């Protein structure tokens, strides 16, 4: 099994967990261990492992580093091919590389799998000191915990500040947390399709997804790693719910309408095309992700409130003075534009709300590569202009 962890395959049934685990091919990952580390919930890990990847070369004064913060089901593999150690290819392939918008001939780019992840960084599927997966013993974690782990990695790499930190969705939450918690460490930020505090509707969407997984009889309170069958049906249902919030109503209607998948009517047991589409994404996630990680990261997003302990969201955002580029997606129903406008209105470093025009909803940050490239260029220009005037 260990030697077979590589490019995603649809052969056979999904595993109980598709997490990358110790002993699997390393792929392009690098690892950093540190500890002890105490979470905001009060749990102490003797050691935390961070899986990360880098591209480019760090210059002599460590001033050319850029950090990419991945979203919920992303990982450190921003760019590159699927293969041994990596179930899928890079999730932002066109953005990072030689002569790319984030030019690795000029910048040193870093991306780490978050705390709680399932692609090499300490998470529920990782091996605990007793030799078993953490499973149900893995603690509740927060966006702040993830950022503190990323900060430990940054210090280990000898980077005093990032020229730019960027991220979509969950990644955007971490960018904001970085800019408030460690303002001296981020010279510029780019937030795409995100929020400074998760709304009531998002909390409800998250809760429904978590319930879908936990009600799967194969979930076993999170201790399913030695089982032949894991909570793949529950996670599949969670993914279907999430995916509907990731796309726009108009895109789904134009793409699928009431079309059938095949020739059999739904009244006779067939499927609408949109049902088949959702089934495919549920199956795909089960072959590259882990249900406990889905819960841990989703719950961390639910708990996210940048203003907690800081006098409220507005007060927290008021401390962001570094150049901040905020991008909203016009068709995003998960993180609607008003949430990005709130960030802009209260952040001294923000210039304006930038619009990504797309029919694809929240997923626009993955689909609209040319527009994302333009926003990256704008963010980098702002950082350079700020630096030149200091």
- How do 65-68 and 164-168 pair as beta strands? parallel
Q: Does domain 2-198+305-388 have CATH number 3.10.50.30?
A: no
Q: Please indicate whether residue 60 is annotated as part of the active site.
A: no
Active site residue 362: yes
Give the per-residue pLDDT at 105.
Answer: 98
Inter-CA distances, 259 with 254, 269, 277, 360, 372, Å: 10, 15, 12, 19, 32
- The catalytic residue among 169, 346, 347, 358 is 169
Q: Look up 2 and say whether it is catalytic.
A: no
Residue numbers in the chain where pLDDT is lower than 50: 1-3
Q: Which two tokens stand for residue 174?
A: 């971490």
Half-sphere exposure of 44 (CA within 13 A, CB side): 3
Q: What is the pLDDT of residues 131-171, one digit of tens each?
A: 999 999 999 999 999 999 999 999 999 999 999 999 999 99
- Give the whole-number percent of the chain exceeding pLDDT 90: 97
Q: At what angle do helices 232-246 and 273-286 cross, to 10 degrees?
A: 120
Residue 341 CA to chain centroid, in angstroms?
21
Catalytic residue among 145, 332, 346, 363: 332
pLDDT recorded at residue 388? 77
Spot the catalytic one: 70, 86, 206, 362. 362
Count Cβ atoms below 10 Å from residue 229 Cβ, excluding itself: 14
- pLDDT at position 1 is 38
Residues with Cβ within 8 Å of 194's Cβ and at least 6 positions away in sequence, in order, are 167, 168, 169, 170, 171, 172, 173, 175, 176, 335, 339, 340
What span, in angstroms and rounded, lies between the C-alpha atoms of 75 and 91? Answer: 8
Q: What is the pLDDT of residue 2?
A: 41
Average pLDDT of the chain is: 97
């Amino acid at each position: 099994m260990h030697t077979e962890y590589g490019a995603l395959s649809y052969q056979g049934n999904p595993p109980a967990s598709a997490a990358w685990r110790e002993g699997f091919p390393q792929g392009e990952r690098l690892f950093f261990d540190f500890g002890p580390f105490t979470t905001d919930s009060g749990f102490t890990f003797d050691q935390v492992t961070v899986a990360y990847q880098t591209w480019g070369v760090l210059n002599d004064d460590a001033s050319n580093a850029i950090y990419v913060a991945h979203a919920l089901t992303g990982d450190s593999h921003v760019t590159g091919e699927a293969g041994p150690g990596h179930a899928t290819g890079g999730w932002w392939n066109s953005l990072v590389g030689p002569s790319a918008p984030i030019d690795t001939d000029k910048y040193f780019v870093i991306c780490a799998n978050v705390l709680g992840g399932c692609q090499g960084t300490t998470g529920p599927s990782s091996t605990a000191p007793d030799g078993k997966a953490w499973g149900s013993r893995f603690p509740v974690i927060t966006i702040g915990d993830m950022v503190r782990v990323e900060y430990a990695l940054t210090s280990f790499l000898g980077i005093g500040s990032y020229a730019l930190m960027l991220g979509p969705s969950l990644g955007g939450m971490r960018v904001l947390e970085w800019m408030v918690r460690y303002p001296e460490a981020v010279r510029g930020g780019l937030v795409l399709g995100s929020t400074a505090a998760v709304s009531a509707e998002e909390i409800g969407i998250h809760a429904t997804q978590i319930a879908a997984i936990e009600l799967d009889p194969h979930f076993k309170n999170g201790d399913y790693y030695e089982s032949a069958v894991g909570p793949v049906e529950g996670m599949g249902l969670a993914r279907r719910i999430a995916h509907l919030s990731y796309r726009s109503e108009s895109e789904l209607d134009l793409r699928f309408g009431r079309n059938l998948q095949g020739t059999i009517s739904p009244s006779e047991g067939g499927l609408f095309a949109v049902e088949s589409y959702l089934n495919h994404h549920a199956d795909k996630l089960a072959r590259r992700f882990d249900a406990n990680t889905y819960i841990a990261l989703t719950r961390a997003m639910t708990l996210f409130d940048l203003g907690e302990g800081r006098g409220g969201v507005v007060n927290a955002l008021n401390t962001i003075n570094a150049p901040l580029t905020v991008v909203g997606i016009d068709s995003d129903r998960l993180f609607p534009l008003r949430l990005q406008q709130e960030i802009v209105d209260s952040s001294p470093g923000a210039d304006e709300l930038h619009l990504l025009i797309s029919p694809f909803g929240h997923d626009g940050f993955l689909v609209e590569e040319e527009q994302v490239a333009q926003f990256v260029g704008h963010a980098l220009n702002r950082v350079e202009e700020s630096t030149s005037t200091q």
